Amino acid sequence: MQTKGNSYLFNPAKDLEPRFISKSEADCFFMKQVLTGDVADGYPGCPNVGDSLVEELLSDRFKFEPYEQTFKSGPRKGTSEIRWQKVPSSSMWDIVVSCYEKMVYLKALQFSRLVVLVY
């Protein structure tokens, strides 16, 4: 019920009095559940995303954005790879989507490396 904004929540087992849940608190709680999952509902959430990362991203309003890193020296000189950086975001939904985009990219990268090894 913490995802329903502008309402009071009261759990006699935990609360001494009803507490008000604002719309922004409810939205933040919902986005946190989308990323970390909800065991009671059987929803696993985004892999490799824990409570501390979600708190940081949602409170500081950062999302992940890919960028290309080209190596200038060493054995990988001249090659490039995709890396991820945290950039400001105005939308909580963009933050959630960026976490899943990063996860999908990394899973695809793992799969492509596995295919090369097997082939």
Please indicate, yes or no, whether the overall pTM of this predicted structure exceeds 0.95: no
Q: Is the pLDDT of residue 81 over 80?
A: yes
User: Which residue is listed with tokens 């696993």?
Assistant: 44
Question: CA dist 73 to 82, 84, 85, 116, Å?
Answer: 17, 20, 21, 25
Between 32 and 8, the more confident residue is 32
Query: Tell me, what DSSP letter sits at residue 30?
Result: H
Query: Tell me, what DSSP letter sits at residue 56?
Result: H
Query: 9: Cβ–Cβ under 8 A, 6 or more apart, which residues?
Result: 1, 2, 15, 18, 19, 20, 21
Tens of pLDDT, residues 54-78: 999 999 999 999 999 999 999 999 9
Distance CA 19, CA 10 (A): 6
* Range 92-96 contact pairs with CB under 8 angstroms and sequence separation of 24 or more: 92/27, 92/28, 92/31, 92/58, 92/61, 93/31, 94/63, 95/31, 95/57, 95/58, 95/61, 95/62, 95/63, 96/31, 96/34, 96/35, 96/46
Tens of pLDDT, residues 89-106: 999 999 999 999 999 998
Give the pLDDT score at 119: 47
